[in-house]
Amino acid sequence: MFRATLKSLLARKVRLILSGLAVVLGVMFVSGAFVLTDTLGRSFDSVFADGFSEIDVNVAAKPKVQVNEMEGEQTVAPLPATLVDRVKQVPGAASATGVVNADGARVIGSNGKVVTSFGPPQLGENWTGESELLKLREGRAPQAEDEIVINKALATAAKVQVGQKVGVLTAFESKKRDFTLVGVFGYSGDRDSIGGVNEVFFTTPVAQRLMLGEPDVFNSITVQAADGVSDEKLRDDVARTLGADFEVKTGEQVAADASASLKEGLSFFNKILLGFAAVALLVGTFLILNTFSIIVAQRTRELALMRAIGASGRQIIGSVVLEAIAVGLIASVLGLAAGIGVGALLAFLFGKLAGGLTLAGIGVPAAAVIGSFAVGLVITVVAALLPALRASRIPPIAAMQDVATPDRPLTKITVAGSLVTGVGAVLLFLGLSGNAGGQTLSTILGGVLFAFIGVALLTPLISRPVVSLLGAIFSWSVPGKLGRLNSGRNPRRTAITAAALMVGIALVTGVTVILDSAKGSISALAQDTIKAELVIAGQQGGPRPPTFDPGVLDQAKALPGVRLVDGEYGDMGRIDGESTWVAASSDIASLRQIFGAKPTAGDIDRLGPTQMLASSDTATSRGWSVGSTVNVQLTRGEARTYTISGIYESSQLTNPVTLPATAAKDFAIPQPIQGFIQLDPGTRVSDVQPQVEALLADSPEVSVADRDAFIKQQTSSLDGLLTMIQILLALAIVIAVLGIINTLALSVLERTRELGLLRAIGLRRSQTMGMITVEAVVISVFGALLGVVVGTGLGAAVVEALKDEGITDLILPWGQMGVFLGLAAIIGVVAAVLPAVRAARINVLGAIAHD
């Protein structure tokens, strides 16, 4: 039996390679995701280990507001400079240095634009001298107030040289300030940066003022242990001396913690990639199922003969499953290898993008190997199980008969399909209506999966009318008509092939529907709400939003024709111990008018220094009313008590709470992020815009745009997300194309005699190719049509569920759907090329004589 299985495997190489390829691609995604995150994770480890290698013990204030990797960079509150002396007194401490080291030092390059880092922080620091790690490559240390030193990678990116004047924006000053670049440094091992971080060193007082906002403070104190004192002992001694208000860690701990927080982000990324792998594998499952079904159907005679000469049903199942295992095993090995390559390539690209992250060696974690083999084998065997079962039911008598594949009724499969679709719909409903009891995401995903499988099972039934309707387009020509009839010939096969394409297209359509609706709803709301003709804002390139000089707000207000100006600040704060997004406005009255806010209680036109406004939703959920007092802890400063003085109606665009402008100095980013300008009626936008632009000359991170351009810019991040998802889902579509090729190739093989006859009675080669192409196009357009319909349904369900979240308009991307259908037609043509050529080359005589 084993021998026979191997022989039959070899005899069907091409077919198995095609279906195996689907597994290879899916497994590649799995192992690639693991290899990428492992490699990047270890690279981060080594970057941080290096960065903190010279620190024995590090002292920092406990963060006042904890933020996670998704919310932004953690900003720690400053420490008083006097603490440095206290630390120095601790026995066992050889030295203690106050360090300023904060995100937000942005160098303006020679082209007048801010140099961005796309991820890693842009640190502003105080110069504390060279070390084993950090060495000046050129020039000298900063000595005067207007002197800076920057790292080599930053100097290269900014195209600036020692001796030049360089503009810098800092955390507390978003107005360009000129410094003289007096030196450029690098790191040991000839590195120009550590992990792509941009660094600017000032003299200590300047760093304190510009990066921390006040004199005589530091972010952290680094302590060197005296000879013979272990880091751990020193840490414990320092901690005991300083008390519980401070975080005292060894350098190793700091490195590990910093790395762990980044890795949290990576594991999220890993999950997303695995999600796409799951989609690819689902599609692959359809393809394998189809291939094995066809193989079994074609081998009916052979398998029946085996039964006739004494093989048991179990042995038949065994032989089919054995084939599946062989295919799965080979595909897993190839997929793993391809995944390692892809992971390495992506890590390399990521390193380049992140400003030259030095990659640790490519690692293949056990999870990648185990995952690859488990997924590859399980998927292949599970997909082959059904065909194997069918094979075992072939009666021995079939060996003696000329069995045409009987047209089995579709009743069973249709009933099953309806049931599975129903289960999917119920799960989706539960998940989307929020009744899934904490399992919302998995319920929704389960619902989507069931819906896909259910629709796939229903597809044979749907395929008959739809395919004949689609095919009607091609029926004007004889090859077209024949192709159309062929595609309706084996509804199950057509259905599974089309269903594979459906999955990818449905997901892309669904995501497009959701994102377009979100975009449209937000745009519409913004159009309705924002009564500002001009908006100051910048394109966010990294974790830190662009900011500008608050002085611009007052200058803009003074321009002729300007009626109202409002500058917006924002940060994560803790209110009564709960993390909440807090906003502050430079002018609460303007804010109210520009956003047309409606009061539901109290007064929202003014705000005293200890007063706070809340949105109606927030007030309801937190139980606040006018006169309630709350405790607010911001990133910097002490906790303060605010009184709710007014409540405004919630909308998508309102902030949960609004603080007075004076509170903004304690925000992690104490500079305005957006500015809204309302003009006097009758004033031309084009008259004012250039004047505001001129005011922003020293705030190169932002620009002024009219309202529509601003809304477009704000929603453009959704476009990027959509493109990314589409690219990742394209893989699922590629696998589906393999499925179409496979199905057609097999059909051509099965219909050799028929093709020979057609050629014999005068069908030209080109007409033969046309016939196969029509068949492919009908199948692929059918799949895409199903996908568009199912995807629209799923997307609309999600949009409906998100109505309360502010996605009020269902926007159907007709253009995109048209593109998908067109794309499907092209896919069909492409998939048909090889089978069509093969069909056209059929030797007429051989085909007819072949028995």
Which residue ranges make up the site for another protein (CB under 8 A)? 404, 478, 481-482, 485-486, 488-489, 753-754, 757-765, 767, 844-845, 848-849
| SS3 letters across 69-133 | CCCCCCCCCCEECHHHHHHHHCCCEEEEEEECEEECCEEECCCCCECCCCCCCEEEEECCCCCCC
- Where helices occur in 751-843 by DSSP H, the ranges are 752-760, 765-801, 814-840
Nearer to another protein (CB atom), residue 16 or residue 763: 763
Sheet containing 93-99: order of strands = 93-99, 220-225, 57-61, 246-250
Instruction: Write down the least CB distance from residue 302 to another protein, Å.
Output: 21
665, amino acid identity: K
What secondary structure does DSSP assign to 522-588, as a single string? HHHHHHHH---SEEEE----SSSPP---THHHHHHHTSTTEEEEEEEEEEEEEETTEEEEEEEES-H
Tell me the two tokens of residue 664.
């903004």
Instruction: Write down the least CB distance from residue 296 to another protein, Å.
Output: 21
Residues 6+ apart with CB under 8 A from 170: 104, 105, 106, 124, 177, 210, 211
Nearer to another protein (CB atom), residue 443 or residue 490: 490
| SS3 letters across 382-410 | HHHHHHHHHHHCCCHHHHCCCCCCCCCCC
Instruction: Write down the least CB distance from residue 391 to another protein, Å.
Output: 24
- Distance in Å from the first CA to the final CA of the chain: 27
Nearer to another protein (CB atom), residue 158 or residue 832: 832
Instruction: Write down the least CB distance from residue 844 to another protein, Å.
Output: 6
Nearer to another protein (CB atom), residue 484 or residue 544: 484
Which of 614, 673, 618, 675 is closest to 644 using CA atoms? Answer: 614
Chain centroid, CA 581 distance in Å: 23
Instruction: Write down the least CB distance from residue 291 to another protein, Å.
Output: 23
Nearer to another protein (CB atom), residue 35 or residue 776: 776
Instruction: Write down the least CB distance from residue 427 to another protein, Å.
Output: 39
Tell me the two tokens of residue 687.
């008259």
Which of 736, 729, 748, 722 is closest to 830 using CA atoms? Answer: 736
Return the number of other C-beta atoms located less than 10 Å from residue 301's C-beta: 15
Nearer to another protein (CB atom), residue 310 or residue 762: 762
Nearer to another protein (CB atom), residue 383 or residue 482: 482
55, amino acid identity: I
Nearer to another protein (CB atom), residue 415 or residue 478: 478
Instruction: Write down the least CB distance from residue 293 to another protein, Å.
Output: 19
Nearer to another protein (CB atom), residue 482 or residue 669: 482
Instruction: Write down the least CB distance from residue 749 to another protein, Å.
Output: 16
Instruction: Write down the least CB distance from residue 444 to another protein, Å.
Output: 42
Return the number of other C-beta atoms located less than 10 Å from residue 360's C-beta: 17
DSSP, collapsed to helix, strand or coil, labels residue 703 as: strand
Q: What are phi and psi of 208, to 5 degrees?
A: -60, -45
Instruction: Write down the least CB distance from residue 402 to another protein, Å.
Output: 10
Could you tell me if 186 and 130 are in contact, meaning their C-beta atoms sit under 8 angstroms apart?
Answer: no
Instruction: Write down the least CB distance from residue 479 to another protein, Å.
Output: 8
Nearer to another protein (CB atom), residue 86 or residue 753: 753
Nearer to another protein (CB atom), residue 591 or residue 847: 847
Kindly report the CA angle at 522 between 430 and 812, in degrees rounded to 5? 65
